[in-house]
Structure 1
Amino acid sequence: MKKGWVYFFFLILFLFSFDGEAAATSNVKYIPIAINDEWINFPDALPFVKEQTTYIPIRFLSDAMGATLTVDKTEGSITITSPKNSIKLMTKQNEMITLEGTRIKINNFVQDGRTYAPLRDLGKYFGYDVQYLSKGPIVRLVNSDAKTDTEQFLIENEKQIKEFYQKLIWENRPKVYLTFDDGPSIGMEEILNVLKAKKAKASFFMIETQMKKFPEDVKHLVKEGHYPALHSVSHNKSLLYGGKASAVSMEMLKAQKTLYSITGIQSSLTRAPFGSKPYMTNPFRDEMAKQKLKMWDWNIDSEDWKYAGKNPMEIVSNVKEGFQKLKERKEPIVILFHVKKETALVLPEIIDFIYSQGYQCVAYQPADHFVMNFWKDKRL
């Protein structure tokens, strides 16, 4: 944790006496960008620095300039048109065609679902002076519409610059996945309130009948940025594991359908009731893989199912003990909880402990899926 703050301190203060792109970007991977006096918003893909060149998602640059962006998939081109200029990027040829028809070599590529191109080349062509400011560091595109000079701009935006880099440091922390089974039910509201207050995200493995009973809770958790996952229909050992190998996958698909009807989210992440061992033998897992379902277990059991009504502080002890073992092994951490009021009572202390260890609490993301089942079945 201390290393992160030291890094942040030097990141904000380094290279005060130098100008230019190389100086301003030599020690950073991601960098904030502004046009004149306004920040550019990057909701799902950040501009980054590679070999002292700043690359930007062209969609967001186009929006910030007030330009229109047209994609021609057949031609493999992206056209950016402003009131005064136009440019066409030929993505496969790595070329930029100007309004006059001149072809210029320009490196562009797709990353995280966004097309990137060098900021300096695009900015200059659309009439901006591209300034790489070491104080920050930050990149600012400036034309005659700018209302503040560089010094005033930095003074007015000091808070936003610090928040940008603080967020990056936080998001680079190792991840802990808080997971909650058997909801929605009593205790859901309290758990969501704690997560919101602590700025933590989680994943909820929900029973289909409970989703139907408490649909507003399901919508609420999705709105708060948590991930909705599946935990069967019956939660019954004999119904799930005592008959056909397809029984588990069929229940998960039914739960999936109900979740979609409530939220519009097609979740494929499941958790087998009572854990995948010993119940989810190979025939069951074959059916799950056939239906393209994923399956998570856990590597820390809080045992709130055992201690919630007796000794809630035992839940905290179990998490801390399991956490230290996994931290030493540098493994992903997935903690099992249940939707209970008693769990909500001790959850703040648990989250504070996780933060104190230099970790962040995140929700599952399908794009970042990793194997977390007791069978180590890579299909799931």
Structure 2
Amino acid sequence: MKRIDWQRTWKRGGLLTLMAIMLLAAVPQMTKAATVRELPLGYNDELTGIKAEMNAGTLYVPLREISQQLHLKVSGTTEKIVLAGSKHSVVIVPSEQTALNGKKSMPLKTYVSAGRTMIPVSLLKGTFNFGIAYDATVPVVRITSGKQKLSLQSFVDQSRAALNNDRGKTEEKPQTEKPASSKPIYLTFDDGPTAHTNELLDILDQYDAKATFFMLGTGIASYPKAVQRLVKSGNAAGLHGMTHVKNKFYASPASALEEMKQDNEALYKAAGVKTALIRTPYGSKPYFTQSYRDKVLSAGFRLWDWNVDSEDWKYKTDHQKVIRSVLDQIETIEKQGTVPVVLMHDQKATLQVLPEVLKTLSAEGFTFEVIEQGATPVNFWHDKR
């Protein structure tokens, strides 16, 4: 098999040849979500012209473009793509959807977007020790090499004008249509992470299901590894504040905003990501009134409630009652032509409920999806901001 130096090919102007190589290298492709969101990408203290993509809750970057930006070398064969830095390297095997780091093999999903082979940005962090930050409130992805001088907030402030101009271009774009039989559903878990989060994730993995976790900052600080796992495995991270104490959270619009900001910082510290998704303690009605929403949502956050209440917090020992209630409510919501958004809690009792719910809904053809940052919010106020 003839070996191919991709960077040399690119320098000789072989654009068509290179694109053909990359298209071949990406087969078989990963099945893509119904929508993919393009995001601007920064490197150290500057915005680049590269577009990252948020696909099914995971951040991806284009292999060729990012390798040039980060001064990595891409070479190898169509069967084995070698991505190398000065000290480390990794072999990507698209046909097996794996990567080889020395003798260690790990799963690595890739796909082709507009002729570009896309790789998870987490590969750059795990193999080459680049820093990765994602601020969904802007939104922007930033890769750092250690030579950056600006904090993430300062970088965002410096780039705000360009990011605002680009905002209209980062909306969700349609991809492959889902089958007509597809029935999406959003499972959400409040009040975590807890000592039971990893068990919840184990159950979700058994049914190839994803969920959105609206987490408290104090829990994030206590269980950072669970947060890292849920983010890395394609689940979505949301915010639930810091205290979950009504009189503290709802003391004023400013106090509500401050709790969400602190929660987001805790998330960033634990997992290197930020999010725009929020759910307020006890739901948004009746306390999260217009003045609160104006204050918090103007900061870029997006408010989510639910339309299916499991009441798993109330009936912690009557598991069958919770299961029947959830399934009955979902059936009603579906008949109305509405996507179910299910409220559950990150707690021990839910471990006894979740398997039966997932088994039944899977058999009925539901697909368990994460709430995307740009999705139209479902909340009790019908506030679509």
**TM over 0.5, shorter chain:** yes
List aligned pairs for 1:1-380, cutoff 5 A. Answer: 40-43=27-30, 114-115=113-114, 173-241=182-250, 243-308=251-316, 310-367=317-374, 369-379=375-385
Q: Equivalent residue for 1:164? A: none
Q: Equivalent residue for 1:96? A: none
Instruction: Assess, with a 3 A threshold, how the Cα gap between structure 1 residues 292 and 317 changes in structure 2: closer, same or farther.
Output: same
Deviation at residue 346 of structure 1 after TM alignment: 1.6
Q: Deviations over 1:323-380 (max 9, x none)?
A: 111111010110000011221112111011212222111112214x12211000111x
Question: Is residue 297–residue 303 contact of structure 2 (8 Å, CA) maintained in 1?
Answer: no
Question: Is residue 170–residue 360 contact of structure 1 (8 Å, CA) maintained in 2?
Answer: no
**Secondary structure of residue in 2 paired with 1:376:** coil
**Secondary structure of residue in 1 paired with 2:318:** coil
Distance 2:192 2:27 in 1: 39
Amino acid at match of 2:183: P
Deviation at residue 36 of structure 1 after TM alignment: 11
Count, aligned residues: 239
Deviation at residue 37 of structure 1 after TM alignment: 8.8
Distance 1:70 1:363 in 2: 27
Deviation at residue 225 of structure 1 after TM alignment: 1.2
**Secondary structure of residue in 1 paired with 2:182:** coil
Instruction: Assess, with a 3 A threshold, how the Cα gap between structure 1 residues 171 and 255 changes in structure 2: closer, same or farther.
Output: farther
Instruction: Assess, with a 3 A threshold, how the Cα gap between structure 1 residues 239 and 216 changes in structure 2: closer, same or farther.
Output: same
Question: Is residue 188–residue 341 contact of structure 1 (8 Å, CA) maintained in 2?
Answer: no
Question: Is residue 45–residue 114 contact of structure 1 (8 Å, CA) maintained in 2?
Answer: no
For structure 2, which runs of at least 5 residues remain unmatched after alignment?
Answer: 1-19, 34-51, 53-62, 68-110, 117-175
Computing the radius of gyration over CA atoms, which structure comes out larger, 1 or 2? 1
Distance 2:300 2:65 in 1: 35
Amino acid at match of 2:382: K
Question: Is residue 308–residue 330 contact of structure 2 (8 Å, CA) maintained in 1?
Answer: yes
For structure 1, which runs of at least 5 residues remain unmatched after alignment?
Answer: 1-32, 47-58, 60-66, 72-111, 118-166
Question: Is residue 212–residue 371 contact of structure 2 (8 Å, CA) maintained in 1?
Answer: yes
Amino acid at match of 2:281: P
Question: Is residue 171–residue 360 contact of structure 1 (8 Å, CA) maintained in 2?
Answer: no
**Secondary structure of residue in 1 paired with 2:273:** coil
Distance 1:216 1:70 in 2: 28
Deviation at residue 314 of structure 1 after TM alignment: 1.1
Question: Is residue 253–residue 296 contact of structure 2 (8 Å, CA) maintained in 1?
Answer: no
Amino acid at match of 1:363: V
Question: Is residue 34–residue 40 contact of structure 1 (8 Å, CA) maintained in 2?
Answer: no
Question: Is residue 26–residue 112 contact of structure 2 (8 Å, CA) maintained in 1?
Answer: no
Distance 1:36 1:288 in 2: 44
Deviation at residue 187 of structure 1 after TM alignment: 2.0
Identity in percent: 31
**Secondary structure of residue in 2 paired with 1:232:** coil
Distance 2:365 2:211 in 1: 17
Amino acid at match of 2:357: I
Instruction: Assess, with a 3 A threshold, how the Cα gap between structure 1 residues 311 and 42 changes in structure 2: closer, same or farther.
Output: same
TM-score (norm 2): 0.56
Distance 1:320 1:251 in 2: 34
Question: Is residue 304–residue 337 contact of structure 1 (8 Å, CA) maintained in 2?
Answer: yes
Deviation at residue 311 of structure 1 after TM alignment: 0.7
Amino acid at match of 2:352: L
Instruction: Assess, with a 3 A threshold, how the Cα gap between structure 1 residues 325 and 38 changes in structure 2: closer, same or farther.
Output: same
Q: Deviations over 1:47-98 (max 9, x none)?
A: xxxxxxxxxxxx9xxxxxxx97799xxxxxxxxxxxxxxxxxxxxxxxxxxx
**Secondary structure of residue in 2 paired with 1:366:** coil
Distance 2:23 2:192 in 1: 48
**Secondary structure of residue in 2 paired with 1:364:** coil
Q: Equivalent residue for 2:5? A: none
Distance 1:328 1:115 in 2: 37
Distance 2:272 2:205 in 1: 22
Question: Is residue 230–residue 270 contact of structure 1 (8 Å, CA) maintained in 2?
Answer: yes
**Secondary structure of residue in 2 paired with 1:292:** coil
Question: Is residue 316–residue 350 contact of structure 1 (8 Å, CA) maintained in 2?
Answer: yes
Deviation at residue 39 of structure 1 after TM alignment: 6.0
Amino acid at match of 1:356: A
Distance 1:171 1:264 in 2: 36
Instruction: Assess, with a 3 A threshold, how the Cα gap between structure 1 residues 210 and 114 changes in structure 2: closer, same or farther.
Output: same
